[in-house]
Amino acid sequence: MSVPLSVAVTLGLLFFLSAGLNEQVAEGCTCLQRHPQRVFCESDIVIRAKVIGNVASTLPNLIAYNIKVITTYKPSIKKDIRVIYSTKICGAHLENGEYLLSGNIVDGVMIFGLCDLVWRWDQLSSVQKGNLSMYQRGCVCEITSCTGASCLTKKLQRKCLIGVKKSLSLDYEDALQAVCLPRSDGSCKWQK
Known binding-site positions for Zn(2+):
29
Residue 62 carries which DSSP code? E
Burial of 173 (0-12, 13-18, 19+ CB in 10 A): exposed
Cβ atoms 166, 135 nearer than 8 A: no
Cβ atoms 22, 42 nearer than 8 A: yes
HSE, CB side, 13 Å, CA atoms: give it for residue 161: 19
Exposed e or buried b for every residue in 70-85, given b needs 16+ CB within 10 A?
A: eebbbeeeeeebeebb
Element housing 40 (H / E):
helix 36-42
Cβ atoms 132, 138 nearer than 8 A: no
